[in-house]
Amino acid sequence: MADPTGVVLGTPETLSMTCDSDLSEKAGYAVNLDVADERNVDLAADATLFPFPLIDGYDGSSDKKQVTIAVGGCTEVKCAASIVPGDKLTAAADGRWTPAAAGELYGAIALEIGAANDLIGVLVRQGEDAAGPY
């Protein structure tokens, strides 16, 4: 991953999980750890669980498939809205990434500017967005 200035993002730390839904076209989307099925992930739909970026997704709807998620380092995510560097990002209703509001759980920090459907570089980091500027 590189921007026009030639800055290259580092390699993400990854974890292999499984999916039991169709994540074949969802690279860069947010997933959550499935609380009812250990080592399984589901497409994230809100900020109630910590989201993780999906790196490699497959269609596990008929038979569980192995997928790769980012758990640290840097990777790319798909934007749902306008994003600026430093935004703490969480899952939108469709699994794309959007800026977190106060009190929401986030899974990445934006390193680049992005608009809806852009892929941008992020630092993978989970937390809860605190009220206030810092």
Q: In sequence order, which residues have a C-beta less than 8 Å from that of residue 25 and are 6 or more positions away? A: 57
pLDDT score, position 130: 76
Residue 66: pLDDT over 90: yes
What's the mean per-residue pLDDT of the chain? 91
pLDDT score, position 8: 58
Q: Among all chains, which residue has been given the structure tokens 């206030």?
A: 132
Which of these, 99, 81, 116, 97, lies nearest to 31 by C-alpha position?
97
- Please give the structure tokens belonging to residue 89: 């990002």
Q: Taking residues 84-113, report their average pLDDT.
A: 96
Residue 126: pLDDT over 90: yes
> Domain 1-128 class?
mainly beta
Residue 72: pLDDT over 80: yes
Distance (Å, whole) CA 73 – CA 14: 9
- Please give the structure tokens belonging to residue 38: 């250990």
pLDDT by residue (tens digit) across 11-57? 899 999 999 999 999 999 999 999 999 899 999 999 999 999 999 99
Q: Taking residues 104-119, report their average pLDDT.
A: 97
Amino acid symbol at 75: T
For residue 33, list its beta bridge partners. Answer: 41
Which is it for the CA torsion 85, 93, 70, 106, positive or negative? positive
Which of these, 112, 115, 113, lies nearest to 96 by C-alpha position?
115
> Domain residue spans in the chain?
1-128
